[in-house]
Chain A
Amino acid sequence: MAPIVRQGRQSPMTATDRWGYPRATGPDLMSRRPTPEAAAPAPRRKLGVVLVDPLPVVRAGVALLIDERADMEVLAEAGDGLDGIEQLAKVRRSRVVVLVGLGLEGDHDASWLIRTVRERFPEHALLAMGANADPSTVSHALFVGADGYVDKNCDPTEFLVAIQKVAVREMVLLGPAAAAVGEIADGIELRRDLDLRLTGREREVLAVAAEGLTARQIATRLGVRERTVTTHLARIYGKLGVGNRLAAVRMAARSGLVTVGAND
């Protein structure tokens, strides 16, 4: 197999990347056996990780895994998005990896957290974690700003490698998602098209319509007249080139704009 030339990476001989973190190597990663590279001066600083996931057991497991490592540490943990941002505000580091559990729900769900981190802490890297997430969920996470996605049922060693890769802003897909690159890209493209074609208000109407509400219920929810809602819906169908609500909602769902059914 001809070698794949990756842009922007140095030669494989270097033991650390350009931020001083040890480079991800293969199966040797977990072993504590000192290697010739390890004899070199220790990295100036450990790679900091902030962990935000609603499930305490997941947080505990990931924290254990990371603390095993000499070159990584968990700086903070949070069980919801809002607390995650508060914790991040206290972190006095410029480049950390934020692990975001896609199971976060409510007003401050995973996509809120990803967007907010992107906006407020653009230098941090974001790694989304899910369990068997479908391609549209992964599309959405990547579109809003995640640098990668890992499935929680992956191999622990690979999981740690993924953290190191996103730390240098290298895209990672771990788990079944890796085979679904095509579908994920389709979702991202669709999502971008929705953003290009629909106004913010129209996307809002579409998202509420996806819940299966009547035009009157949508109107009540958004505090507008029923007529306004039907006008919006008609314009949305026109812009998306679909004939009815079901088709529009299906499109929005494939793009990850709306979530149909539970997703973790």
Chain B
Amino acid sequence: MILGVVRLACDALPDVEIVREVDNAPDAFEAATRIDPDIAVVDLDLADTEGADVLRGLRDRGFAGRIVAVSERVDGQAVFEAMRFGVDAYLAKPDGLRRIGEAIRRVREGERVLDPALENAAVLELGRFARQARESSEMVSSLTRREREILDLLAEGLTMKQIGRRLGISPRTVETHVAKLYRKLAVRTRVQAVAKAASLGLIELR
């Protein structure tokens, strides 16, 4: 359905032509690198691939052209995520499709096209994002170097005894550190501690 709408819209634009049509992510990546179009119109609701993964795939392959994203999702998280991959327009299905020609024309001129309601939703999401970033950096600065070392070793799955041996301190001392660490992270178990640390970006889960 989208292809048809885009075709119609492009036909109406004098200086726009469709250079390639694809219906799956791998072909899109291939087209983006081989043809390197000025604009990619991307349906974020593909059957096999998450919308964000399509956008990430395009950008990771060095596609620097403009992106017009089309999606059923109108929640702040979806729009915010798309904006983080540098989409120039985000149109909601099905109503937004009516403006796809206008969107293509405007992004071509370097403008961004986003419905005020979608923009507002993305901004609210940015607010949550900023707050979370601030909280994690505050939490990190409250941890001592020793506590961070121990956190890393906990994440590796070492026992208290092994951690003590690794750091040259007694298991009892390790336990004291761990108790303090749990209190600061507001968790009760090792699994929770590791999950929390990962979500804060403190450790990387492999």
Q: Which residues of A are at the interface with B, using a C-beta cutoff of 8 A?
A: 1-6, 142-145, 147-148, 170-173, 178-179, 181-182, 184-186, 188-189, 191-193, 195-196, 200
Contact = CB atoms under 8 A, between A and B. Distances in A.
Q: Which 9 A-B pairs have the closest CB atoms?
A: A171-B127, A195-B137, A182-B83, A192-B133, A142-B130, A179-B112, A181-B83, A182-B84, A1-B95
Nearest to B80: A181
B202 interface: yes
B7 interface: no
Given A4-B117, A144-B134, A185-B80, A171 B123 contact: yes
Given A1-B95, A2-B92, A178-B119, A143 B127 contact: no
A75 B124 CA distance: 28
Contact count band on B: 35 or more
B120 interface: yes
Contacts, number: 88
Nearest to A172: B123
Contacts of A173: 123, 126
Query: Max chain A CB contacts within 10 Å: which of B84, B86, B112, B127?
Result: B127
B127 A147 contact: yes
Contacts of B200: 196
B126 A171 contact: yes
A188 B126 CA distance: 10
Contacts of A185: 80, 83-84, 126, 129
A1 B123 contact: no
Nearest to B145: A199
Interface string B102-126: 0000000000101101111111101
B162 interface: no
For chain B, what secondary structure do more than half of its interface residues adopt (helix, strand, loop), or is it mixed?
helix
Q: Which of B86, B133, B136 has the most chain A CB within a 10 Å cutoff? A: B133
Interface of A is mostly: helix
B129 A1 contact: no
B201 A193 contact: yes
A134 B175 CA distance: 47
Contacts of B74: 1-2, 4
Given A2-B92, A4-B121, A182-B83, 14 more contacts: A1-B117, A2-B95, A4-B117, A4-B120, A142-B126, A179-B112, A179-B119, A181-B83, A181-B119, A182-B87, A185-B83, A192-B136, A196-B137, A196-B140
B164 interface: no
